[in-house]
Structure 1
Amino acid sequence: MNIFGAMYDKTMQWSRHRFAVFWLCLVSFIEAIFFPVPPDVMLIPMSMAKPKDALKLAFYTALASVMGGMIGYGLGYYAFDFVQGYIIKLGYQPYWDTAISWFEKWGILVVFVAGFSPIPYKIFTIAAGVMQMAFLPFIATAFISRLARFVLVAKLAAWGGEKFAAKLRKSIELIGWSVVVLAVMAYLILR
């Protein structure tokens, strides 16, 4: 079955769409609050399609992520009782427990690490509000961290450019099915 090749082609097509930057910013904004898909899924093909715009795209992604992070912070600060049920329902409780313990040990440094962590970023933004971190240091640290991550991702994708996109397209079915198999195995092992 060639599912991933068609999805890859569509993603590359969307990365060149005239509203692609808007959608990138929207995904980055809502990912910091509740959305499960990281903005890298859009940033990478957009940076491969337009390598000269990679830094600009990374900046927009980081800015939108931090703006979404402010909303996540507010939810943690003002409405955690409401949000807590969703954390449990979505299976984020282990991530939540880890984030809280990290905040208790390392404080503001956790926000910097969160930009690169495999733990969903929204967990950290909400936890920062619950822990009542100082808001301005939270924003500054989040921006530095998110910008560093997205610049790294965008520049690596841009460096590969169209040549890498073509090579990736040839292997996308193998990569896609490998990820599915690994996800199923992880689920079976961790449940």
Structure 2
Amino acid sequence: MFRKIYEWTMRLAGSRHAPASLAAVSFAESSFFPIPPDVMLAPMVLARREKAFVYAAICTAASVAGGLLGYAIGVWLEPLGLVILRLFGHPEGQAEFQKWFDQWGLAVILIKGATPIPYKLVTITAGLARFDLFTFIWASVLTRGVRFFAVAAILKYFGPAMLQEFERRLNLYSILLLALLVGGIVLLKFVF
């Protein structure tokens, strides 16, 4: 199964629709979609390394725009925001994240925006907490930019060797990635 998804993603990464698809996934992931844009960014950079930073910029801009949608969901569609939080394993929703923002403020956006933790949790709860919009925007640009440009740079300069290794052990790395994601969500649940 992982092989088919991987091959489909690699074909899409080389297609003329790749940049628009990357923008759509990046936008949606910041507010409601479960798949992170790295799933598309990585094969796109590997397919066309000369466009690595263009793809990272697309990813960043679309992610921040999607983050504004997530923020708006938190502000104006609170019931929907709480449903999304519950779907991603946070039934305490607003109270839990309000405590995060009260205690850590800007650090929540800066740290969580650069990690594999679903960014939609940050964007929706920033809206629920009525976090300062201007600070939310510049912190999102900074943290998402650092994340996507770092991924793009690593793959641009070290990608071919990494790609060969990844393709050789695709199932193992897919299982490890899935385990890390689940472990990260469980850790997030118990630590915060």
Smaller-chain TM-score range?
Answer: 0.7 to 0.9
Candidates 18, 27, 40, aligned match of 1:42? 40
Per the alignment, in what secondary structure is the counterpart of residue 131 of structure 2? Answer: coil
How far apart in 2 are the matches of 1:172 and 1:110?
33
Partner of 1:84: 82
How far apart in 1 are the matches of 2:96 and 2:156?
34
Cα-to-partner distance string for 1:60-88 (whole Å, 9 max, x where unaligned): 10100000011111111111123213322
Matched ranges for 1:93-172 at <5 A: 93=91, 99-172=97-170
Contact preservation (8 Å) 1:49, 1:161: no
Partner of 1:13: 11
Larger relative CO (CA 8 A, sep 6+): 1 or 2?
A: 1
Structure 2: unaligned runs, 5 residues or longer? none
Per the alignment, in what secondary structure is the counterpart of residue 35 of structure 2? Answer: coil
Cα-to-partner distance string for 1:134-182 (whole Å, 9 max, x where unaligned): 21121111101100010011111222233422221111122234556x4
Contact preservation (8 Å) 2:100, 2:108: yes
Per the alignment, in what secondary structure is the counterpart of residue 127 of structure 1? Answer: helix
How far apart in 2 are the matches of 1:142 and 1:163?
31
How far apart in 2 are the matches of 1:173 and 1:55?
28
Q: 2:24 matched to 1:26?
A: yes
How far apart in 2 are the matches of 1:96 and 1:114?
17
Q: 2:2 matched to 1:4?
A: yes
Contact preservation (8 Å) 1:47, 1:158: yes
- Which has the larger Rg? 1
Structure 1: unaligned runs, 5 residues or longer? none
Q: What residue identity is the alignment partner of 1:34? A: F
| Count of aligned pairs between the two proteins | 187
Identity %: 32
Quick check: 108-117 or 38-47, which moved more? Answer: 108-117
Per the alignment, in what secondary structure is the counterpart of residue 93 of structure 1? Answer: coil
Partner of 2:60: 62
How far apart in 1 are the matches of 2:42 and 2:68?
24
How far apart in 2 are the matches of 1:98 and 1:149?
25
Contact preservation (8 Å) 2:97, 2:125: yes
Q: What residue identity is the alignment partner of 1:43? A: L
Contact preservation (8 Å) 1:96, 1:127: yes
Quick check: 43-52 or 87-96, which moved more? Answer: 87-96
Going from structure 1 to structure 2, the CA distance change for 1:179 and 1:161 (only over 3 Å counts) comes to: closer
